[in-house]
Chains A and B, each alone.
Chain A
Amino acid sequence: MGWPIGRREFLASVGGAGVGLGLGALSHSFPLPPPEVKPAWSPGREEFVTSSCLLCPSHCGIRGRLVDGKLVRIDGNPLHPINRGGLCPKGVAGIQLLYHPGRLTGPMERTGPPGSNQFRRVSWEDALGRVTRVLTDLRSRGEARSVVWLAGDVSGIMAEMLRRFARLYGTPHLIQENYADGSAEVLRLSQGIGAPPAFDLAASDLVLSFGAALSEAWWCLPQAARARDAAPGRRPRWVQIDVRHSRTAARADEWVPVRPGAYGAVALGIAYVLLKEGLYDAERLNAQVEGIEDWKDETGRVVPGFRKLILRYGRTEDVSQRTGVPAETLVRLAKSFGTMSRPVAVWDQSVAWRSGGLPDALAIHALNVLVGALDRPGGILVQPPLPVPPLDGPAGGTAGGDRTAPFPAPGDLVALVANESAPPVKALFLHYANPAASSPDAEKVKGVLERVPLVVSFSPFLDESSRYAHLVLPDHTYLERWQDAPAPPTVPIPVWGLVQPVVPPLHDTRATGDVILALASGLGGEVAAGFPWSGVEDLVKERGKKLAASRSGSVFVPAFRRDELRELEARGWWLPHGLSPDEFWASIRQSGGWFDPHYDYNDRSAASQFADGRIRVFSLQARRRVASTVPDLEEGFLPLEKTPEPAEPAGDYPLRLIPYRVMTLASGGTALLPWLLEDLGVLTGDAWETWAEINPGTGRRLGLVSGQMVRIESETGGFRARLRFFPGAQPGAVNVPYGLHSAVEGWGRAGGSNPLAAVGPRRDPSTGLPDWYSSRVRVVPA
């Protein structure tokens, strides 16, 4: 046969090849077998529990989704009249606060030196025993005044309990941070109202915002968000006057860039056009407003009125000169503000937190007065009080609590301790407060914390301040405890959100409210008598039932019922809910809270509470107040510096520091939540660390490159940040987000630093508010 290959060998080689291939094939299933899909699971039992978010003042309604009893997600509560089911990123990420690995699992006693993290677990009995003993004998020795309470974000029942406890125990030193932005002071001076303004954004047709971070850090983010929630034609027009291209500015219909601290001037410029062009209702003005025309003071001297002053100082060119806002823009703004049917001018501490902030705010509010925005739909309203009396403290305070008490509390603490005449502080309680990180003079605060014989922190985390505490009595998180969450004062209607345990406590922690009750009963006597409740739950429940009897408002209801209700109440009707107090309470727990959609425009007390029922612009009182505290202003009180500083001054610290808040961070320890840290800055795409926005031109002039690490320094101090060239940063300024000031072991490492280190503890002398927006800095490579 002709085949060149011998059969035997051929077979041999084929066999060999076969074996080889076989081995090869086997080797394929190495190293792991394909994973088998896990056996079918049964969808768990799902339930929803309503409550409120306490991560920022907005106090949105939330709804916890539980599966087989475990909280797996936080939704918005669709029935909540303000956020209506929407949430901000913080609200969603709140679940990470609950499950945070860094949470304290029970009461801790410090074993190491102050500031260390050497603590040991103690029993609640021992811990409370120790505190009660100290409180008892301080009081018996008549040193009650040496006990200081420092409270951060507390409102509603919790605030009232603290006030009552302090009063009954006998210490005046309840230092409470309640988000003061000085706006209440403005209303006091111009309307005789001691409450902050409410802004009826949704009903307005032109929102003129002076630096108010409506979509980033405003008092009530959902209120601003929902005002956007309409088709282009049917929502208010947004104009954002801001010193930076903020996220709010980015999505406003118009953004008007302005030099830092020039808001008041812009307002004057707009007022000038309004008055000059007669874009206002003269009768109404004469009938309701004082101080437009000249008048005589008690000494009979003629006082120049608003009109005269404005016409003298508000000339468009001059204002444009000062503020950097083009003349035509000023005129256009004024014309639309004067001709729209429901315009409103909005401001917050972006205006107030500088020395000279008060006249700025007065000038801005004067615009609202000129166009008659006070107490009219789509204008400036005042949130009616809850129809139930508060436990203690200033009665008739709005649901949001009054915001006249100035920040920063920690500063007061330092002052208090520095003050020789005052008795030494013997015991200090920190509730929702982390001054060692959040105070502009953190170092001083630490010094104080080291000196006080007993420091007690209620923080659920071992935050910077708690490390100085002798005892940490960890609070439940807001998802595990009873409380209430009244809407912030910017909301025109009273809303009482319920905070109830969404899940049973995960750890051996206790609600600070309950701890206070325990201390009270431990102290006995009148203090105990003042706190007859067995738990905060009882107080909350009690208030809920009182609301049932208030013959107004309703538990949270779906949208269509809301409008119905408003209509009815407007006609003076109120349909009895026909529920027993217990049923009513049940439906509050079901729906998430109580609210009253009706706003009574006939009650003029929201326009003026002066005896003469009139409204004042730059009243004598206001003028004197400003003139006596802020130097170098035109006429002594107009928001115009006699010698305005150049836009880009030279010197050691040539740049302006513009600190601001990002939506994704809030007070209250949200800096601990990784989901937020992954999404920190939507404008620059930064994450996990502090960055600093600088105008590309300025940056290049300083020989810096985008992305490098820099140190930002002022006379007061400095901090590190990653530099970002950002066209939305104005030349000669550095924008820095704050909020990354606090860090806790356990989950991700945020590279945060604290801009306040460069800001320092300065205050505005006329309001006592912090002065954060006039810091000068330099940027040097790190």
Chain B
Amino acid sequence: MSDVDRLAGLPQDQRILLAPLVRTTKWFWIWAAVLAAVTAWGAFAYALQVQSGLGVTGLNTPEYWGIYIICFVFFIGISHAGTLISAILRISNAEWRRAITRSAEFITVLVIAFGAVQPVLDLGRPDRLLFIILHGQPWSPLLWDVCSIGLYFTASSVYLYVPMIPDLALIRDLGIRPRWLYWFLAIGYQDSPRTRRMLQRIIAVLAVAVIPIAVSVHTVIAWIFAMTLRPMWHSTIFGPYFVVGAIYSGIAALILAMAILRRVYRLEAYFKLVHFNNMGLMLLLMSLLWTYFTFAEYLTAWYGGEEAELATFWSKLTGPFAVPFWLMVASCFVIPFALMCRKATRGVRGTSIASVFVVFGMWLERYTIVVPTSLHPRIEMASTHYVPSWVELSIMAATFSGFILVYMVATKFFPIISLWEIQEGREEAVREVSERVASYLPDEVRVAGS
């Protein structure tokens, strides 16, 4: 019998959540084809760049870094969606997390990979990539970066994988194809109260371990810039500033993912308004944090009034970069704040719109960090501009499409919502929560008899 009718008889959760694994619509194929095409085009562009050098980009002196580095910071930022958020929620025992952690963790794992290749695309000599390991120079923030990203990737893969084992085991037992895959990935897990407890413990440890790693990643990326003496890069708050920005864009990305999944896989019953509302509140919080950091950053630059700093500063506020800068302010603060501070607009549509702006705005933020400073060296005011070439833009497009493509495919092989955690929620959480609540209440005080 086919996988489809296999599902028929199952309880709701399994029926709905496993559906994508066995049923594929024609729209899926259409989208996949389009995205694949874009990705292939980008690959071609890169091939061209490899064989004729970075001259095919719009880069120049002193604009040594451009789109690739911008995307690098951006994508690694997005990657903070999953692991970090889900870990925090897990540790804080936020019950509403159960439906969203899996999709979040998937974003992380897949996007890191795409983020991590950006600096490689940016290399003048990709063929010498291995030198970073062979001749690694521990003083270089770039090397710190390689390490922390590598660690983060491993950790979050494990962190994605381990909580998925029970579901994989379930699928294996249901005999859904490709059987060998699930057999292989389930690594012989047998569900039982004891194994569950074991698993819970491992997850708990991972959750705690993964948070500092996640924080370190974006801090180190910030340091790549902050360790130079360049105006408006050389800043002490860059580490936390970048982390905040990262989480901010991560949440936005997650909201978008949820909204889309909800739509295409009819998951209204699982991604409920409450989820969007809560995420919206987090978005609100982050928008305020981000604005606070941005303000602090620019105020100090301006107040210090150092010549070089001011040149960069004004080029952003009133100069050639005024448009991207104020667009950024609008889409990272004004719009999301306006939408998220009202419950009415914290629905699916509201949060999605806000998230679109935030994601876009955070890309712009990276742009206004990288480019203006590059074009304002301390000596010899640059007479040049930076106009990304079609090669750079193609490769950027390919990165986006590539990411979406693999994410789509992933949802075809793995339940995008954790079955066993939902189930666990149904069975135990209610009891647990009421016990927990009870434990908050004041104990009865026995009065000694008269």
Query: Across the interface, do A5 and B189 meet the contact criterion of CB distance under 8 Å?
Result: yes
Q: Mark A203-247, 1 if CB is under 8 A from B, else 0.
A: 000000000000000000000000000000000000000000000
Contacting residues of chain B (178-234) with chain A, CB-CB under 8 angstroms? 183-190, 192, 194-195, 198-199
| Contacts A2-B198, A4-B194, A4-B195 given; does A13 touch B187 at CB 8 Å | yes
Query: Across the interface, do B383 and A9 meet the contact criterion of CB distance under 8 Å?
Result: no
Is residue B129 within 8 Å, beta carbon to beta carbon, of the partner chain? yes
Q: Which residue of A lies closest to B194 (CB)?
A: A2
Is residue A561 within 8 Å, beta carbon to beta carbon, of the partner chain? no
Q: Would you give the shortest CB distance from B116 to chain A, in whole angstroms?
A: 13
Q: Would you give the shortest CB distance from A726 to chain B, in whole angstroms?
A: 13
Is residue B127 within 8 Å, beta carbon to beta carbon, of the partner chain? yes
Please name all residues of chain B whose beta carbon is closer than 8 Å to the beta carbon of A560 when the two chains form the complex.
none
Please name all residues of chain A whose beta carbon is closer than 8 Å to the beta carbon of B50 when the two chains form the complex.
31
Is residue B26 within 8 Å, beta carbon to beta carbon, of the partner chain? no
Is residue A10 within 8 Å, beta carbon to beta carbon, of the partner chain? yes
Contacting residues of chain A (13-49) with chain B, CB-CB under 8 angstroms? 13, 16, 28-29, 31-32, 34
Please name all residues of chain A whose beta carbon is closer than 8 Å to the beta carbon of B383 when the two chains form the complex.
685
Q: Would you give the shortest CB distance from A708 to chain B, in whole angstroms?
A: 15
Query: Across the interface, do A31 and B198 meet the contact criterion of CB distance under 8 Å?
Result: no
Partner of A6, one of B127, B128, B188, B194: B188
Is residue A8 within 8 Å, beta carbon to beta carbon, of the partner chain? yes
Expressed in whole angstroms, the Cα–Cα distance for A412 and B128 within the complex equals 64
Is residue B131 within 8 Å, beta carbon to beta carbon, of the partner chain? yes
Query: Across the interface, do A5 and B187 meet the contact criterion of CB distance under 8 Å?
Result: yes
Query: Across the interface, do A31 and B127 meet the contact criterion of CB distance under 8 Å?
Result: yes
Partner of A13, one of B184, B190, B192: B184
Q: Which range holds the interface residue count of chain B?
A: 20 to 34
Q: Which residue of A lies closest to B202 (CB)?
A: A4
Partner of B187, one of A9, A31, A34: A9
| Contacts A4-B194, A4-B195, A4-B198 given; does A34 touch B188 at CB 8 Å | no
Partner of A29, one of B130, B183, B189: B130
Please name all residues of chain B whose beta carbon is closer than 8 Å to the beta carbon of A16 when the two chains form the complex.
184
Is residue A395 within 8 Å, beta carbon to beta carbon, of the partner chain? no
Please name all residues of chain B whose beta carbon is closer than 8 Å to the beta carbon of A5 when the two chains form the complex.
187-189
Is residue A611 within 8 Å, beta carbon to beta carbon, of the partner chain? no
Is residue A12 within 8 Å, beta carbon to beta carbon, of the partner chain? yes
Q: Which residue of B lies closest to A7 (CB)?
A: B188
Expressed in whole angstroms, the Cα–Cα distance for A9 and B383 within the complex equals 63
Expressed in whole angstroms, the Cα–Cα distance for A390 and B127 within the complex equals 66
Expressed in whole angstroms, the Cα–Cα distance for A768 and B133 within the complex equals 75
Query: Across the interface, do B184 and A28 meet the contact criterion of CB distance under 8 Å?
Result: no
Please name all residues of chain A whose beta carbon is closer than 8 Å to the beta carbon of B30 when the two chains form the complex.
none
Q: Would you give the shortest CB distance from B135 to chain A, in whole angstroms?
A: 9
Query: Across the interface, do A4 and B127 meet the contact criterion of CB distance under 8 Å?
Result: no
Partner of B199, one of A4, A9, A10, A29: A4
Please name all residues of chain A whose beta carbon is closer than 8 Å to the beta carbon of B128 when the two chains form the complex.
34
Residue of A4, A10, A12 ringed by the most chain B CB atoms within 10 A: A4
Expressed in whole angstroms, the Cα–Cα distance for A13 and B130 within the complex equals 27
Q: Which residue of A lies closest to B134 (CB)?
A: A34
Expressed in whole angstroms, the Cα–Cα distance for A10 and B185 within the complex equals 10
Expressed in whole angstroms, the Cα–Cα distance for A28 and B187 within the complex equals 28
Q: Which residue of A lies closest to B135 (CB)?
A: A34
Contacting residues of chain A (297-312) with chain B, CB-CB under 8 angstroms? none
Q: Would you give the shortest CB distance from B97 to chain A, in whole angstroms?
A: 23
Expressed in whole angstroms, the Cα–Cα distance for A8 and B188 within the complex equals 8
Please name all residues of chain A whose beta carbon is closer than 8 Å to the beta carbon of B199 when the two chains form the complex.
4
Please name all residues of chain B whose beta carbon is closer than 8 Å to the beta carbon of A10 when the two chains form the complex.
187-188
Q: Would you give the shortest CB distance from B145 to chain A, in whole angstroms?
A: 18
Partner of A34, one of B131, B186, B192, B194: B131
Expressed in whole angstroms, the Cα–Cα distance for A9 and B187 within the complex equals 5
Please name all residues of chain B whose beta carbon is closer than 8 Å to the beta carbon of A9 when the two chains form the complex.
183-184, 186-188
Expressed in whole angstroms, the Cα–Cα distance for A3 and B199 within the complex equals 10
Q: Which residue of A lies closest to B166 (CB)?
A: A4
Expressed in whole angstroms, the Cα–Cα distance for A104 and B433 within the complex equals 93
Residue of A12, A16, A34 ringed by the most chain B CB atoms within 10 A: A34
Expressed in whole angstroms, the Cα–Cα distance for A511 and B39 within the complex equals 62
Expressed in whole angstroms, the Cα–Cα distance for A80 and B130 within the complex equals 54
| Contacts A28-B129, A31-B127 given; does A12 touch B134 at CB 8 Å | no
Q: Which residue of B lies closest to A31 (CB)?
A: B127
Residue of B129, B134, B188, B190 ringed by the most chain A CB atoms within 10 A: B188
Please name all residues of chain B whose beta carbon is closer than 8 Å to the beta carbon of A31 when the two chains form the complex.
50, 126-127
Expressed in whole angstroms, the Cα–Cα distance for A390 and B117 within the complex equals 75
Please name all residues of chain A whose beta carbon is closer than 8 Å to the beta carbon of B198 when the two chains form the complex.
2-4
Query: Across the interface, do A34 and B130 meet the contact criterion of CB distance under 8 Å?
Result: yes
Please name all residues of chain A whose beta carbon is closer than 8 Å to the beta carbon of B134 when the two chains form the complex.
34
Expressed in whole angstroms, the Cα–Cα distance for A16 and B186 within the complex equals 13
Contacting residues of chain A (674-692) with chain B, CB-CB under 8 angstroms? 685
Expressed in whole angstroms, the Cα–Cα distance for A9 and B194 within the complex equals 19
Contacting residues of chain A (434-467) with chain B, CB-CB under 8 angstroms? none
Q: Mark A383-418, 1 if CB is under 8 A from B, else 0.
A: 000000000000000000000000000000000000
Query: Across the interface, do B184 and A12 meet the contact criterion of CB distance under 8 Å?
Result: yes
Query: Across the interface, do A28 and B130 meet the contact criterion of CB distance under 8 Å?
Result: yes
Q: Mark B420-437, 1 if CB is under 8 A from A, else 0.
A: 000000000000000000
Q: Which residue of A lies closest to B130 (CB)?
A: A28
Q: Mark A607-638, 1 if CB is under 8 A from B, else 0.
A: 00000000000000000000000000000000
Please name all residues of chain A whose beta carbon is closer than 8 Å to the beta carbon of B126 when the two chains form the complex.
31
Please name all residues of chain B whose beta carbon is closer than 8 Å to the beta carbon of A685 when the two chains form the complex.
383
Expressed in whole angstroms, the Cα–Cα distance for A32 and B123 within the complex equals 14
Q: Would you give the shortest CB distance from B191 to chain A, in whole angstroms?
A: 9
Q: Would you give the shortest CB distance from B448 to chain A, in whole angstroms?
A: 47
Q: Which residue of A lies closest to B191 (CB)?
A: A4
Please name all residues of chain B whose beta carbon is closer than 8 Å to the beta carbon of A12 when the two chains form the complex.
184, 187
Query: Across the interface, do B190 and A4 meet the contact criterion of CB distance under 8 Å?
Result: yes
Please name all residues of chain A whose beta carbon is closer than 8 Å to the beta carbon of B187 when the two chains form the complex.
5-6, 9-10, 12-13
Please name all residues of chain B whose beta carbon is closer than 8 Å to the beta carbon of A29 when the two chains form the complex.
130
Q: Would you give the shortest CB distance from A53 to chain B, in whole angstroms?
A: 31
Query: Across the interface, do A32 and B127 meet the contact criterion of CB distance under 8 Å?
Result: yes
Q: Would you give the shortest CB distance from B185 to chain A, in whole angstroms?
A: 8
Please name all residues of chain B whose beta carbon is closer than 8 Å to the beta carbon of A13 when the two chains form the complex.
184-185, 187
Q: Would you give the shortest CB distance from B196 to chain A, in whole angstroms?
A: 8
Q: Which residue of A lies closest to B133 (CB)?
A: A28
Q: Would you give the shortest CB distance from A607 to chain B, in whole angstroms?
A: 51
Query: Across the interface, do B189 and A4 meet the contact criterion of CB distance under 8 Å?
Result: yes
Q: Would you give the shortest CB distance from B149 to chain A, in whole angstroms?
A: 15
Expressed in whole angstroms, the Cα–Cα distance for A5 and B185 within the complex equals 11
Q: Mark B398-410, 1 if CB is under 8 A from A, else 0.
A: 0000000000000
Please name all residues of chain B whose beta carbon is closer than 8 Å to the beta carbon of A4 when the two chains form the complex.
189-190, 192, 194-195, 198-199
Please name all residues of chain B whose beta carbon is closer than 8 Å to the beta carbon of A2 when the two chains form the complex.
194, 198
Q: Would you give the shortest CB distance from A15 to chain B, in whole angstroms?
A: 10
Expressed in whole angstroms, the Cα–Cα distance for A3 and B187 within the complex equals 12
Q: Which residue of B lies closest to A14 (CB)?
A: B187
Q: Which residue of A lies closest to B129 (CB)?
A: A28
Q: Would you give the shortest CB distance from A176 to chain B, in whole angstroms?
A: 44
Contacting residues of chain B (103-161) with chain A, CB-CB under 8 angstroms? 126-131, 134
Contacting residues of chain B (366-398) with chain A, CB-CB under 8 angstroms? 383
Q: Which residue of A lies closest to B198 (CB)?
A: A4
Expressed in whole angstroms, the Cα–Cα distance for A159 and B57 within the complex equals 54
Residue pairs across A and B with Cβ atoms less than 8 A apart, 20 shown, are A2-B194, A4-B195, A5-B188, A5-B189, A6-B187, A8-B188, A9-B187, A10-B187, A10-B188, A12-B187, A13-B185, A13-B187, A31-B126, A31-B127, A32-B127, A34-B127, A34-B128, A34-B130, A34-B131, A685-B383
List of 4 A-B pairs having minimum Cβ-Cβ separation, nearest first: A9-B188, A6-B188, A4-B195, A32-B127
Instruction: A4-B192, A4-B194 given; name 11 further pairs at CB < 8 Å.
Output: A4-B190, A5-B188, A5-B189, A9-B187, A9-B188, A10-B188, A28-B130, A29-B130, A31-B126, A34-B127, A34-B128
Using a CB–CB cutoff of 8 Å, the interface residues on chain A facing chain B are: 2-6, 8-10, 12-13, 16, 28-29, 31-32, 34, 685
Using a CB–CB cutoff of 8 Å, the interface residues on chain B facing chain A are: 50, 126-131, 134, 183-190, 192, 194-195, 198-199, 383
